[in-house]
Amino acid sequence: MQYTLKHIVKALEVMAKEGIEGILIGDTCLNIELGNKFFEGDLDLFVTSLSPLMESSRIIALAEEKGWSTGATELGTPSVTITVNNIDITVELYENIMDFYIPQEIIDICQQEYNVEGSKIRCISKECWIVLKARRGSSQDLSKISFALELIERNNIKIDKNKLKKAVEAFAEDAYYICERLRSLGLKI
């Protein structure tokens, strides 16, 4: 089911009131950057206010109390589905765990805020979205990067190569592999 930016704002506000705050890190960030009016799929929230894994029992109890349904991400962290104006929005809650790692430097470099009718949505920039996808390196992620590169070539979006380079450097141990993946897709840093 499709939803709008207003739905995203409301879902994030409801969660923030319950102490669950963070920054959006998934495909929604690129879609917001592109100015899309409608969104599909889940929201990927990198939680900065608590540990979703360590406090999963509290999150599940809160969800039951609020009438939200719960699930789990592929990492085993909780997800919650909130109904906003008769539309269900699933918010997957992420944190640094196992191979899923986002350095604080990425958050510092890449955080962007969008103002939606007086409310703010925090997302990572498209440059860091590209780097996170390249680091993960799945075929689906590389396909999404290729799509973003097509948009860049057509001047639908612009990227800051300095920010891109800093984001790659934040993953010191993986920087070479990230650069190689991006180079293989036609993006030189």
pLDDT, one tens digit per residue, over 48-73 is: 999 999 999 999 999 999 999 999 99
Nearest CA to 96 out of 80, 81, 75, 111 is that of: 75
For residue 117, the model assigns a pLDDT of 84
- Name, in order, each residue with C-beta under 8 angstroms of 161's C-beta and a sequence gap of 6 or more: 189
Whose CA is closest to 120, among 7, 2, 13, 14?
Answer: 13
* Residue 37 pLDDT level (bands cut at 50, 70, 90): very high
Phi, psi of 23 (to 5 degrees): -130, 135
3 state SS for 121-148: EEEECHHHHHHHHHHHCCHHHHHHHHHH
Beta bridge partners of 3: 39
53 token code pair? 């894994």
- Strands 43-47 and 87-94, by their bridges, are parallel
How high is the pLDDT of residue 156? 83
pLDDT digit string (tens) for 112-167? Answer: 999 988 999 999 999 999 999 999 999 999 999 999 999 999 988 899 999 999 99
Regarding the domain delimited by 5-124, which CATH topology (the fold level of the hierarchy) does it fall under?
A: Beta Polymerase; domain 2 (3.30.460)
pLDDT of residue 188: 85
Over the stretch 74-93, which tens digit does the pLDDT of each residue have? 999 999 999 999 999 999 99
- 78 φ/ψ angles, rounded to the nearest 5 degrees: -70, 155
> How is 36-100 classified by DSSP, letter by letter?
-S-B-S-EEEEESSS-TTTTHHHHHHHHHHHT-EEEE-TTS-EEEEEEETTEEEEEEEE-SBTTB
Position 1 scores a pLDDT of: 81
Q: Can you tell me the mean pLDDT for 24-29?
A: 96
Q: Is 189 a residue whose pLDDT tops 90?
A: no
Average pLDDT over every residue of 11-37? 95
Domain boundaries, the chain: 5-124, 126-184
Give the per-residue pLDDT at 73.
95
pLDDT at site 59: 97
For residue 63, the Cα-to-chain-centroid distance in whole angstroms is 21
Q: Report which of 170, 185, 173 is spatially closest to residue 139, judged by C-alpha positions.
A: 185
Collapsing DSSP to helix, strand or coil, 2 comes out as: coil
Q: Residue 66 has what pLDDT? A: 96
Whole-prediction pTM: 0.94
